[in-house]
Structure 1
Amino acid sequence: MSVRLIVRTFSELCITIGALIVLFVVYVLFWTGVKAAGATEGQIDDLQRQWARGTVSAPAPSASRTSPSASPSSPNAPSSPGPKSPAPEAYRDGKPFAMLYIPRFGKGWEWPVLENTEVKTLQKGLGHYRGTARPGATGNFAVAGHRRTYGDPFKDFPKLRPGDPVLLTDGTTWFTYRIDKKPYRTVPSDIGVIDPVPRKSGFDGPGRYLTLTTCDPEWGSSHRLIAWAHLDATQPVTDGRPAAFHS
């Protein structure tokens, strides 16, 4: 085999590899975003149809709907048990049940929250960790989302600051949570961050908490970024959007 043939073969191989790399980058940076946009819009439309039909699940019995919580670490439970309420319906795997808004990430930032954190679910929106609390309920409502790809929902995660509002609606109630500290970095095996009283959060007792999780570094997954928040206020959707949207 001549040197010219070897060089030509090597050059063609490099061109082919380069083309594949370019295609992969286009897929990661562009096409996954296109797919996510279509899938997310579909989930939002599905939620709006559910809410229009009045088929949304009722909020958890322990959720306050009238006043802000007392403090991040307080149980914030009713003073008397009152009549027993029926258990709310379970969320359906892979299906949307709420909308999440984080004003810090921009005026138009809104994402549906679906049940479970499987790969195919996180391609359509944010995922609720199965088994964690419902919105507004005592415990820890924990949510995962992509940092990059599939719409980059948590691209700006490191920008979260104490006091930032995180707003959530299930179609009947607005829940306003407040971030308690800057994002915390840990490893994927640290599942204590989504405990009912999340470890390392600084919360020292039962309360109504929210945990957001995403990958770190920005284009990797060796670590996780965690943000914790406590329930600050609730109000019926009939009262309009909470003032925290403009804070």
Structure 2
Amino acid sequence: MSVVDPNRYAGPQERAVLLDSIRYDEQVLLAAQRRLDRANTALHNARIARIAAQEVEFAAMMAHQGVAEDVARLHERLRLARAFYHPIRKLSADLLHAIFLVLYGDCQRDLLTAERRDVFTLASVCRRWRTIALEFAAIWRTVTLGLSEDKRLVLEEPFVTACIARAKQAIDVVLVLCDTSQPVRCIDSDYLTCVKYVACTSRRFICWFSDIVYLPLLNLSSLHPSPKLEEIGIEHYGRTPKLWPKISLWLNYISDSRACGN
């Protein structure tokens, strides 16, 4: 084929070479066409098999979903049925209230943890615990508040207000001014505002801090007046605080003011 000039008609010798080349290419084309037909058939069969497999998969998936729903329904029915004769249903509301107070007291002993919301967590468990949490005022009378540099204490006021409303009397407040990971180095005037609000409705006010905390609570009028306040304490962990003499004077002032009826 390389000797054939495409710009003129093939000569006698070139014609024989050209015919041989055409016959060879036709045979190769015929074989390739057969292979293409077989490949098309295989592809068509594969597509049909894939569609059939997808239909089988969908049918199996729907069957699995139906069985899973039946199993979940049976589990829920058994759970509810077993709950009706659970021993805790024999306990009175007063006893459940006492149990929760004991457990809640254990949680409150760790004063350096984050602020507690155990009452709200308990109230969301079930209707029976929700009734216990909402009807018994003693559960709401101890409040632990945490304060970090990125969280102002005034944001806790709605929580304190809810506790006061449920407690139906003065509450006990534990204020954690720092934690071991991120101590509070400075507390602004918002702190004093909230302390005044809390102290006016508190029966006991306990404050935890470390010696690296700067407390501008020498403003003695911040806790005056506080008619319900019966006990106030400043607790410290770590080394001896440098502010302790000033805080002692502050506490003495509060005690003297209460003794005088102020």
Taking structure 2 as the reference length, what is the TM-score of the superposition?
0.26
Higher relative CO (Cα under 8 Å, sequence separation at least 6) belongs to 1
* Larger helix share, 1 or 2: 2
Normalised to the residue count of structure 1, the TM-score between the two structures is 0.27
